[in-house]
Amino acid sequence: MSMPISSLVAFLAILLASLFSNPVIAAPADSLNAQGFRAYSKKDYPGALELFQKAVESDGKHVVARYNLACTMALLRAQNKTCEYSAYVPEIMDQLEAAVKLDGKRKERLMTDPDLAAVRNYWRFQKLLGKRVSNETDVKELLVLIRWFGPSPGAMGPVAGAVFKADGSFEFWQLNPDNGKRRPRTGTYIVKGNAITFSVAAKGSDKAAVWTGVLGDSGEIKIKELDLILTDDRSECSA
């Protein structure tokens, strides 16, 4: 015996009302994000991470879940648990960039959010804030703010690194291929546009030298004389 049309309509109305009144069924991302935030509030960052990840998987356009996921990963980095929970800078920045793209107001919050302190000194974060290599002042700030590293072809990590200081001096090191030890160099640098001129001091058997570099929009410093590229990639969790 078939159900009368009026009864069927009433049944469907009740079913739909039930679905949309149940947050777990109607909006699983909202529910997962709320559970994640409760774990985050208790400083259970591993638990929060899992829940925020599920929320984002459920709804890729959930701005708050993406932002919360990025913050939780950054907090795990701050606890030196980067490798344990794959809390890598690129993954964190993917979430932040997606959140800002979905809601531009998120940029205002991430500018000062203490949860993101562990990723603040990286190229993509600063670029998201608006830093540009076309601005000489920005270039000077970026050089000092970021720790710079050469490529990591093997398990030993980066083959070179540099630290720029606000007083115009720099410290540079490069691995000696013969013994694997660092060969330090120091000197001063001058920035013009996005070009960098290094005046390298003599040290031991190494003569004084002048190197020329350029900071590109991809966050790479290319040093011509050394045929070397420096980035903010620290080669974390290498074997």
CATH class (in words) of the domain with range 137-230: mainly beta
* Predicted confidence (pLDDT) at residue 7 exceeds the cutoff of 60: no
> 5-129 maps to which CATH number?
1.25.40.10
* Predicted confidence (pLDDT) at residue 12 exceeds the cutoff of 50: no
How would DSSP label each residue in 108-160?
HHHTT-GGGGGGTTSHHHHHHHT--TTSHHHHHHHHHHS-EE----STT--SE
Share of the chain above pLDDT 90, in %: 80
Q: What are the extents of the domains in the chain?
A: 5-129, 137-230
Render pLDDT for 165-190 as a digit per residue (tens, 0 to 9).
999 999 999 998 888 889 999 999 99
Burial 72-91 (b: 16+ CB within 10 A, else e): bbbbbbbeebbeebebbbee
pTM listed for this prediction? 0.85
